[in-house]
Structure 1
Amino acid sequence: SYGSLLGTTLFQSFLAGPLAYKALSRPQFATLQTKTFPYYFGLQSVLPVLLCLTYPGAKHLSARLHSLGVYGVLAEENRWSVLVPLGVMFGAGVLNWAVVGPWTTKVMKERKHQETRDGKKYTDEGPHSQDMQRLNKSFAALHGASTLINLTGLGAMIWYGFTLGSMM
């Protein structure tokens, strides 16, 4: 679960997303991201739960039975090294999946409709209508928030990776 979560996050954030942005037209890129992100954010929401359920527990066999899975995640000694990073990963995934992602898609669709009303693409040179300026500003803020949330989740993944590595 951990490798899948970290791998998909690194791949989407630093390879697939930037390459698609460079290779596709903006409408194609927007369509691709609109279709991809619900699955991507869904994985980022579900996999931390699986990590919680499959937490390997203590190094020593005698202590392992009482520190497996959710019991180990909730143990006092694991609060900062396990519970917090898993909670941050889960929270970041759910926030992007259920709130920021759909909100961003809604603004993108509104912006497309505004292009039709204005007879001008949002990427065209100004001046733009006040509605288009508002939508562009909203999209930029939402995109920035989603990126920050995603990077926060990635930081938690790396943090948790050090915890897993120290158990080997």
Structure 2
Amino acid sequence: MNATATATEQIISPSQLLAHWQGHRSLTRRVIEAFPEKEFFEYSIGGMRTASQLVLELLAIGAPAMKAIVERDEKPYTEAGNALTTKALFLQQWDADTDAINTYFAQVPTEDFGKTFNLFGQYNSPIIHSILYFIDNEIHHRGQLYVYLRGLGVEPPFFWER
């Protein structure tokens, strides 16, 4: 048996990948919801960014990056969000971005996942690698959010309940 994959082999379908990603987003949303309002913006451990700053990064990547991929727009990375002054506004933006991710993801033809795109004008890699990075980055920052919740004495959602 040949251990080398061919270009026609597939382990996971695009719809399964999107469902996996959205499962992570659903869990991250519940983690955000678990934060007390004040601590979402002010609490930090060891000099790390606050929960709101971490989530702002996630909001600056997911939907904007998928839009950039679809439109082949290499504009630089930016974290906007000065208008997000409450946890409720963060959650509202999270939900809007979840819908946008679904919309843009559906516009990426399966054959394009292996194509190279220069995301944010600085990350030149196959589109699938970028999408996997979006998921990995969210998991990483969600782990930080779990530590914050534990530090605050708040029981976080079970990580396996996606």
- Pairwise same-fold verdict (TM > 0.5): no
Which structure has the higher relative contact order (CA within 8 Å, separation 6+)?
A: 2
Greater C-alpha Rg: 1
Greater share of strand: 2
TM-score by length of 1: 0.40
TM-score by length of 2: 0.41
